[in-house]
Structure formats: structure tokens, C-alpha cells
Structure 1
Amino acid sequence: MTIKVVIIGGGSSYTPEIIEGFIERYHNVRITEIVLVDIPTGKAKLETIASLAKRMVKKSQLPIRISYTFHRREALIGADFVTTQIRVGGLEARIKDERIPLKHGFVGQETNGAGGIFKAFRTIPILLNIASDMHELCPDAWLINFTNPAGIVTEAVIKHSPHKRVIGVCNIPFNMKSGIAKMFDCDVRDIEIEFVGMNHFIFGKTVWLHGENVTDEALKRLVEYNQSYSPANIVSLGWSKPFIESLKMVPNPYHQYYFQTKEVLEKDLQAFQDIGTRAEVVQQVEINLFETYQDTELMEKPKELEQRGGAYYSDAACNLIESIYTNKQDIQTVNTFNNGAISDLKDDDVIEVNAVITSEGPRPLTIGSLPNSIKGLITKMKNMEHLVIQAATTGDYNQAYLALLMNPLVANEKKAKTLLDELLEAHKDYLPQFNLKEEKIL
């Protein structure tokens, strides 16, 4: 039996990790073909990644065929799984997402605030096209999305494309489990966390160690150890004792943008002056990584890849593919329809949730009502995501304005329009849905 995987964004620096994941899981998922897809402007990177992938497979002595192409539709024919890891506009677009908000006194971050909204605006139409092609060419294939903002993009695709076999993944739940495991000096597999919320806005409601509820002890140690479980792209500022003791849940690294906005903004503005934005730092990391990848003696994923903020995204995707293919029915944290898991949200709202993974997809575990401490925040963020999706799919300027205005990291009616107009102009080549010649709101 053949298993074909298509990696869209195959020239990404993360691809060696997903190749490694497939090699390690070959005994359970005997993938026979991996096709790397990218755009012509990424030709050099794609060729470099394809060469490294072939060396990795050669070293493994497994019968996996690696190829690459710029013709997405041809690649999708007969696919069983499709992963997406794209960045529309490349790192240059990310730099704008970070620089322009910072210039106006707002947090500049690629998946939160104004930057995250504009990444969604650029990304959603492309993912909708990919999903439409899949529905035509490989209707039974699963789309595993780890293109950010993963939750918003996943919801947009499921709701606005004919293809429904779509699941989003993120590395933050793994990072949080890993951080808790370090505090208890145990293997990450010994830790389970009940997650509640949305992508990049989840909370750890309950923590178990070997099946025993250790939430109180975990929160105590979180304060005492000041343990950082942040990915490489977020510098942790730590959490205060009153915050943790009052919240009674484990926050995720991205929460600092919402609960420590002033401090984060000051830190980012200083870094902006000293070394540039995170995107500019990543540009150099990417240059170094691809120099490493070109070494013809390299036959494995290099350690340096962990310097990228999305390390372990690919591992999450591989775990998910293995569980779907084998009907493993284990529990993983994914982005999928709520389907009643959180009673305060609609069934077709996409949430980040623990789910049983079956051959027919994820079955979310019931959470019930949101804790009062976060209920208002979660529902507000979900409504803001709805506005983002509506603007991205229609090009409606008013909805785009409202999306920025209702985002807690903007929320300034005097500056929101200025910020919106500047970002629309900066990204106009990647936002064809917005007809900038039309009359805007007054």
C-alpha cells in the first residue's frame, strides 16, 4: 500500500524536522512518497531542502521517494496527507507586520495583534485555494495545517472551503508540557494538561503527573522556579505570584502580550533599536541554517533548527498523521471544531483542545463551561477571530477595521484606521481581495 504526503512550503527551514518525524515513525506509517511543493521564488531553498531530505532518507535506508515541484495541483493528485507551512510574502512581510505596529506604539508580533491579523489576511485566501484543489484532486486526504495564525486559518478553511478534513496543529501545548515536566524532573510523556481556549490563547486548566492531579503544585513551582517554556521567538518575562495564584491556571507564553503588554512593548522597542525585530533576527538564523543544510555530509536534522520559534511543529504534525492513519485513538491537542466541548462557544468555532484522534479525525474532549476568570476574554477573542475571517474572505474594509479595533493589542479607535491603512498599503501585493480604490469608511 502506498502513502503519499505533500508538504506545501517544502522549502521551509522546518522541513527537515518533518522528514525526521516520518523516518522515525516508518514502522507505523510506511510513507512511500513525499513531495515538496513551493513557489518559484523559493527555488534555491527548495532544492537545498530536497537534497538534504534525500540524504536523510538514504541514511535511513528506507524506501521513501523524495521529489519536489512548483506545480501544486500535479503534486496533490493521489495525496493521502497534505501539510501546509507557508509564509505569504516571506520574512519581508513579517518584518512589516512587526515594524509598522511598533512604529505606532503597538505590539508587533507575527501571530498576535495587528501583525497576526494581517498574516491571516494574506494567508487565508491561499489556504482556501489549496483546500479547493484538494477537494477536487485528493478529496479523502487530510490537510494538516501549521501555518500561523493556525487557529484562525484552520477555522476559515473548514468554514469557507468544500474540504472539511482539516486539522490545525501548534507547538505551544508541547512546549507547555515540556516546561511542566522540567519542573517535576520527569519525562514529558508523564505529564498531561487539560487545555482550554484557542490557538495562542490557551490555558492549562488541570495538570496531571502519572494520572495524579498536581495542578496546585505545578502552579506553585511555576512561580518558585520561574520556569520558562517559551519558544525561541518569545523571551519570557516570568509571571507574578498574585497572577498565577488568582488565575489558578497555567498561562501560555503568548499571554504575556495580553497581560504584560506595556512591559513587552518596552522590551520589543528596545530590541527593535538594538538588533531589529524578531523577523530580522530570524533572517540571519535562516541564512545560517541553509548554509548548514548545504553541507553534503549532513544527513540529519541539525540542532540549530531549535533556534527557530516553531521547532516541534513538525513533530506534532507527524504524531497526528500517525494517529489518523493507525486509528490510534490517543489524545492530542489540536485545532478543530468545538462540537460542544466548550459550552460557551458555538459548535463550529475552532478551538485548541485535547481530542481523541481517530481515522475519521479528532473527537474533542468535553470541557464544559469556561472558568469565569477567562470566559469574557475567550469569547471576545473568538468574536475578533470571526471578524478577521470575514474580512479576509470578503475584502470588506469595515470588517478589517473592526477586527483591528476589537483586538486587545490594538483597541484604539483613533489609531486603528491609520494602522490599517498603512498595513494595507505595505501588503497590497498580497491582498487582492481588498480593492484599495474603493471608498473606505469615514
Structure 2
Amino acid sequence: MSEKDKRYSVVIAGGGSTYTPGFVLSLIANQDRFPLRKLKFYDNDAERQKKIGDACAIIMKERAPQIEFSYTTDPKEAFTDVDFVMGSIRVGKYHMRELDEKIPLRYGVNGQETTGPGGMAYGMRSIPAIIEIIDWMEKYSPNAWMINYTNTIAIVAEACRRLRPNAKVINICDMPVEIMTRMAKICGLNDYHDLDVNYYGLNHFGWWKEVRDKKTGKDLMPLLKKHISENGYWIGGEFDKETETSWAETFKKAKDCYALDPETLPNTYMQYYYFPQYEVKNADPNHTRTDEIREYRQKIVFGECARIVKAGTAKGNIWEANAEHSNYIVDICHAIAYNTHEKFFANIPNNGAIANIDSDSIVEVPCWFGADGVQPMATGMAGRFQKGLIEEQQACEKLVVDAYEQHSYTKMWQAFALNKTVPDASVAKKILDDMIPENKPYWPELN
């Protein structure tokens, strides 16, 4: 069989995720570009995965009966005979996410799942789980690629760099693409595929230096700057009719982030570092993003899965419109499978991509994706303002991995104390001391 006619085997690690059904629909819709022979789910929570898996089995039977489908909690079964591993796990599930958000808020510090102390706690939990999955993949399917989008990506990528430097793992995030889809809409284009960009920074921590129309080369920055200076990334109307309230506020807040450096366009997550007091003031310590997800997305997804199983058909399901998140991952798989050298984002060792940042820093930059993995684009120099922010945040991320490797309380305390969202070392210590017993099942013992 030629490479052109090859069909691929994929395992989704984190099969019980609420994002999984949408991802399955994207895979099915893209069979002309990324054809599958086998799709498997793996999760260590059998009950949660069954709810998703039984519904997806019906979707697969109706939409793509030619693809062999299964789900399992057995690593050997899951990771044998696969070409791609999609990593989307949440260690500790929503219970631990809730604590990541609410413990910092006890002490007047922003509570968010991927930034500040909550993000560092989540990253520490994710390290051993991702390393375990990498080892299974290398044992049972040594030629496979892992596309990992398990948070906290920056910390996980740093751990991969140190602990599994030769593994075929690409750490990605779809947040820049989500924002670029908004940029395209603002500029009257279809989606992020129509944009050519220069972007640099860290995961959930970056800036666009250039945005152009890919077809014509037209500079779109003036138009985008005008819109963002007035509205942030908020579009409104039909485009935003399904946007949840907390995300609406996030997209609007980009207006204030842009004002701090009007030469670049910010990732929306910069609000947590630029305006931490604002974030705390506007947060409800008893009702955070996790509560919203439980009340909204999780309830809807599991309810829809139960409806599909009961009806015995997936016709008219809520995932008919594929999400940008899952389409982006399919784009990346296609680029690797067919060696297209398309440009997407990855979190990789810098090695000169940002000229004035340490070579061993994990940075998020555009890369060329092909059969040999990723090759970073040179993005030029970081501005003085951005360079200072990057180096501070990168030090926090490295200290978390130091703490993991060395079982060091002091290193984790330093990571919390250095972070821009935390006011001083005494507050950092209180948050850490509250987090340690809650994370006992997941973190190494810190001495």
C-alpha cells in the first residue's frame, strides 16, 4: 500500500473527555484528508468513558462503519497498533480543577486552571501521567506520534524535554487558533487558514507581531488593532450567540491588554498576568469556571450521550457543527501523515526561535509540521516588555519541573512566589500548604 492510500489508527487518551464526541465528528468529517482504519479510546475512568464511548459507538456505526472502533482501560490494548496518540487527559478531573481555582482565591490570588498557582498545581499532576502514556506508546507502538494537548502544556512540555527528550511528542494548544478565527472574522475572511502570522511567547502567554492575509499578503494589523482597541476580540451578534459569559468577558478584556502594548496583539490569557487584582475582584470564590462547566458543558455532553444511547441513533446530535479545537488537531495529523510542512503552533525548546530568549526555554511559536515532526520558525527578537514577562514565567515553569524531579518543597514554593499573579512569598506558602494535602494522590512527596 502506498503512503497515499494508507489508513491510520488513532487512540484518544482521555476518552471520557467532554470534548471527545466533537473530536470524533471532526475525524469522520475529514476522512478524505486523514482516513482511519481504527479509532480507540483509552481512559482510566471506565464509568465516565463508557458514557462517551457508547454514544460514540453509535455515531461511528452510523457515520463511518468502515472504521474499527473500541474503547478500553487496558494500556496494552489501547496503545498497540496505533499511528497517532491524542493526549487529552485531566488528572484529578473536575474535583482537582475546582481546588486549583478556589484555593488561590482564599488568599486573594487569581484562581485559574492553567495560570498562577492553579496552573502550576495542574502541571505537576499531569507530568507523571503524560510520561506514563509516552512510555506505553513507545513500548507498544514505537513509530507512533503523540499529539499532546493536556494542560498545563508549558510545564508538560518542559518535563518531556528533560525526561523524554527523544520521544515523538508534539505539545500543542488551540487557543491561538481560536483567537485567529476571531481575527479572520473581524477581517472578513473565513477562518484561521486564511491568515499568515508571526506569533511568539509561551503557552497561554504570547503576542502576535504580524497578521497578514495569506492569499494577498495584505497587512491586517491596522484593521485588527482598531477593532481590538475598541472591542477586544469580542465580535457579538450571531458569531457569539453561544459564547458563555465568562468567555465573553475574556474576549472583551483583550481591549485593556492591548492598551498596555499597542505594537502587538495579545493572547487573551495575558489578562491574568496584566490585571491579577481585577481578576480576583471579579471572581466568585464559591462559583468558578469549574462550576460553570459542570452546570453547562458537562451536563449537556453527558445528557446528549445518554439520549443517543437510549434512542439508538445519533441523528440530530448537538455536535453536527465541528469545533475549531478538534479540526485543528486533524489538520496537524494530516500535516504529519502526509509531510505537508504546513504552519501551525507548537510548544518546543526555543533553540533560537525567539532570538533573545534562552535556547532551552519551552516557547510557543509557529512551526512547520511534517513527517519528521516540527521545525520552528524564527520569530525575531522579543520586545523588552515581553522578554521580561517571558523570563519570569518561564522560570516558574522550570521550577515546577525542578520540584517534581527533586521532590523539593522549596522549588515549588519558589515557583509560586515568583509568579506574577502572587503578591508575595508568604501568600505563596499558604496556597502551597493548602494544595499539598489535596494533591497527595498525584504529586511526589515534597520535602
**Do the aligned residues in 2 keep the contact of 1:16 with 1:300 (CA within 8 Å)?**
no
User: Does 1:378 pair with 2:382?
Assistant: no
1:45 to 41, 45, 48: 48
Match of 1:218 among 204, 217, 224: 224
Maintained 8 Å contact 1:181/1:191? yes
User: Match of 1:213, SS?
Assistant: coil
CA distance, structure 2, for counterparts of residue 404 and residue 312 of structure 1: 33
Distance 1:7 1:240 in 2: 37
1:190 aligns with 2:205: no
- Shift of the 325–224 alpha-carbon distance from structure 1 to 2, 3 Å rule, reads same
Partner of 2:262: 247
Number of the residue aligned with 2:178: 175
Percent identity at matched positions? 28
Give 2:203's aligned amino acid: N
Q: Distance in 2 between matches of 1:44 and 1:300?
A: 25
Q: Which of 257, 266, 278 does residue 263 from structure 1 map onto?
A: 278
C-alpha contact 2:354 2:379 (8 A) present in aligned 1: yes
After superposition, the C-alpha distances for 1:68-127 in whole angstroms (9 at most, x for unaligned) are 111113311222111111111110001111111001110000000010000011111111
3-state SS in 2 of match to 1:357: strand
Matches within 5 A, 1:231-242: 232=244, 234=247, 235-236=249-250, 237-240=252-255
Change over 3 Å in CA distance of 1:34–1:304 after alignment to 2: closer
Question: Residue 347 of structure 2 aligns to a residue in which SS?
Answer: strand
CA distance in 1 between partners of 2:254 and 2:83 (Å) = 43
More displaced, 295-304 or 285-294?
295-304
Q: 1:170-222: CA deviations, max 9, x gaps?
A: 12111111121222222113223211101100111111124212212211121
Other structure's SS at 1:143 match:
strand
Q: How many Å separate the matches in 2 of 1:251 and 1:342?
A: 17
CA distance in 2, matches of 1:131, 1:241: 40
Partner of 2:208: 204
Counterpart residue number, 2:379: 367
> In 2, distance between residues paired with 1:194 and 1:242?
19
Q: Does the 8 Å CA contact 1:131/1:162 hold for their aligned counterparts?
A: no
SS of the aligned residue for 1:87 comes to coil
Distance 1:331 1:167 in 2: 14
Distance 1:160 1:84 in 2: 17
Does structure 1 residue 298 correspond to structure 2 residue 323? Answer: no
Match runs of 1:384-399 below 5 Å: 384-399=396-411
Unpaired segments ≥5 residues, structure 1: none
How far did 1:162 drift?
5.5
Secondary structure, counterpart of 1:404 in structure 2: helix
Structure 1 residue 20 and structure 2 residue 25: aligned?
yes
Q: CA RMSD in A?
A: 2.2
**What residue is the counterpart of 1:5 in the other structure?**
10
Deviations 1:395-418 (A, max 9, x none): 211111111011111141121111
Q: 1:359 to 1:282 in 2, by over 3 A?
A: same
Quote the offset at 1:301 in angstroms: 5.9
- Equivalent-residue separation in structure 2 for 1:346 and 1:49 (angstroms): 43
TM-superposed CA distance for 1:20, in Å, is 1.6
- 1:132 corresponds in structure 2 to 135
CA distance in 1 between partners of 2:54 and 2:273 (Å): 42
Q: Decide whether aligned partners of structure 1 residues 242 and 109 sit closer, same or farther in structure 2, where only a CA change above 3 A counts.
A: closer
Q: Structure 2: which amino acid aligns with 1:409?
A: T
Q: TM-score, normalised by structure 2?
A: 0.89
TM-score (ref. length: structure 1):
0.90
Counterpart position of 1:35:
40
The equivalent residue for 2:3 is none
Partner of 1:33, secondary structure, is strand
- List 4+ stretches of structure 1 deviating above 4 A: 229-233, 239-243, 303-306
Structure 2 letter corresponding to 1:228: W
CA contact (8 A) 2:110 2:272 kept: yes
CA distance in structure 2 between the partners assigned to 1:300 and 1:251 by the alignment: 38
Inter-partner Cα distance in structure 1 for 2:266 and 2:129: 32
Cα offset, 1:33, TM superposition: 0.8
Distance 1:240 1:15 in 2: 32
1:69 aligns with one of 67, 72, 79: 72
SS where residue 29 of structure 1 aligns? coil
CA distance in 1, matches of 2:35, 2:132: 29
Report the AA paired with residue 288 of structure 1: I
Residue 419 of structure 1, CA deviation: 1.0
Whichever residue aligns with residue 422 of structure 2, its letter is V
Instruction: Tell me by how many angstroms 1:426 deviates.
Output: 1.6
Amino acid at match of 1:203: W
CA contact (8 A) 1:244 1:250 kept: no
Task: Count matched residues.
Answer: 425
Say if 2:288 is the partner of 1:282: no
Q: 1: distance between equivalents of 2:421 and 2:21? A: 34
* Equivalence for 2:349: 337
The 5 Å alignment of 1:36-115 reads 36-39=41-44, 42-115=45-118
| Unmatched segments (≥5 aa) in structure 2 | 1-5
For residues 262 and 410 of structure 2, the distance between their equivalents in structure 1, rounded to whole angstroms, comes to 35
Question: Which is worse superposed, 101-110 or 366-375?
Answer: 366-375
Alignment-mate amino acid for residue 389 of structure 2: L
Asked if 2 retains the 8 angstrom alpha-carbon contact of 1:20 and 1:300, the reply is no
